[in-house]
Each structure stands twice: as structure tokens, then as C-alpha cells.
Structure 1
């Protein structure tokens, strides 16, 4: 017969699973943002290396459209700034959830130890 976990431990385990899911989601989002940052940096570098008079094109609705170099460069730099701010926010969230996960895991281990000791004491009394 399977024993039911104490409600406190069960709640903590559910919370741990929820935090782990949030943590994994943040890690995925961080990887996506880091990839977008690298791509944007490459685009900026290419445009800057192309020179002032080189024509610059953008893909819009499956059509290559010639665009103003300076305007596009500024748009990319603005996008890069936004992405970097987003990355900083994600890193802070990641750190905060990691701390919560560590604390919760410690609490769960302590509860499990108490339960194990209680069972041993109960078994010794029989």
C-alpha cells in the first residue's frame, strides 16, 4: 500500500516542479535572445563593413527592398539595445528562480529527513 505524502511536502514538491518549468522556460528564452543578439550584431557589422555608398536591402513580404543605410543601421542598433536589456532581465529572473529552487530543494530534503527519522522512531517503538 502506497503511503500518502504529508501535505506540506506534497505542496513543496508541486512548487518545485512549477519553478523548474519556469526556469527551463527562461533558459529557452535566454538562448533565443542571445541568438537574436548575435544575429543583429552580425547584421550591424556587415552593414558597417559594406561602406557608406553600398546599397542595403531588407526582406519585406518576400521582396527585397532597398532601404536607407543609416536608418536601417539605427533600427538594428535600437533593436540590439532592447535585446540586451531583455537579456539582462532574463538573467536576473534566472538568478532569482535558481535561488528559490535551491531554497526549496533544501526545505524538501529537510522534510524528507524529518519524515525518515519519524518513521525510524516509530518503527523502533513497535
Structure 2
């Protein structure tokens, strides 16, 4: 069937498929960022339950470093903020791609409309 379609429509269909793949990749990224955000929140909650003078260790690469509760809280809050910004960015990209997907879909349907009859 695609052999009968004009090159422009074939190109639009290819773009549509590519956008769909990008949307799926963004959904996976979003899920990963949300999971990291949840981990950071859980860690912050746990730190909140500790005494102010508690000894805290954190992973840095393959090392485990002794640190203060305050420093750990600061780093986790920074991480949460970074993840939140990343999530907003992913959401904006998703919105743009979804909009472009719908636009292309409509163009293809309009172009194929007369052919289908």
C-alpha cells in the first residue's frame, strides 16, 4: 500500500513513526526521573528522622564518604530540584512532540481522505 502513496505522504508517515518513538523514549526517561525523585524524597524523609549529630555516609562513585546530615540534606535537595527541572523539561518536550504528532496525523488523514473514498 505504501508503494502507491505519494513520496510526501510516505515521508510524513516516516516522521510520524519517528515522533512516536521519541515520545516513547521520553516516557521512559520521565519514568526514570520520577523514580530517582522518589528515591531522593525517601532519603530526605529518612534524614529528617535522624538526630542532628548523626553520622551519615553517602556514595560517591565507588566510595562511601562520611558526611554531615546537613550536607546530605543540601545535596539531596539540590538533586531534587535538578530532577524537578529535568521532569519539567521532559514534559515540555512531550507536549511539543504530541502536538506535532497530532498535527502530522491530521495532515496524513486529510491527504488520504480523498483516496479512501
Higher Cα Rg, which structure: 1
Partner Cα separation in structure 2 for residue 81 and residue 59 of structure 1: 19
| Length-normalised TM-score, structure 2 | 0.90
1:78 pairs with 2:73:
no
For 1:31, the equivalent position in structure 2 comes to 31
Q: Where in structure 2 are there 5+ consecutive unaligned residues?
A: none
Displacement after TM superposition at 1:28 (Å): 0.7
Instruction: Give the ranges of 4+ consecutive aligned residues of structure 1 lying more than 6 Å apart after TM superposition.
Output: none
CA RMSD of aligned residues (A): 1.8
Matched positions, count: 117
Displacement after TM superposition at 1:50 (Å): 1.1
Partner Cα separation in structure 2 for residue 83 and residue 61 of structure 1: 19
Q: Where in structure 1 are there 5+ consecutive unaligned residues?
A: 118-126
Larger mean CA deviation between 16-25 and 47-56 belongs to: 47-56
Displacement after TM superposition at 1:4 (Å): 2.6
Partner Cα separation in structure 2 for residue 3 and residue 37 of structure 1: 47
| Length-normalised TM-score, structure 1 | 0.84
For 1:15, the equivalent position in structure 2 comes to 15
Partner Cα separation in structure 1 for residue 59 and residue 116 of structure 2: 63
Is the 2:2–2:10 Cα contact (8 Å) retained in structure 1? no
Larger mean CA deviation between 8-17 and 48-57 belongs to: 48-57
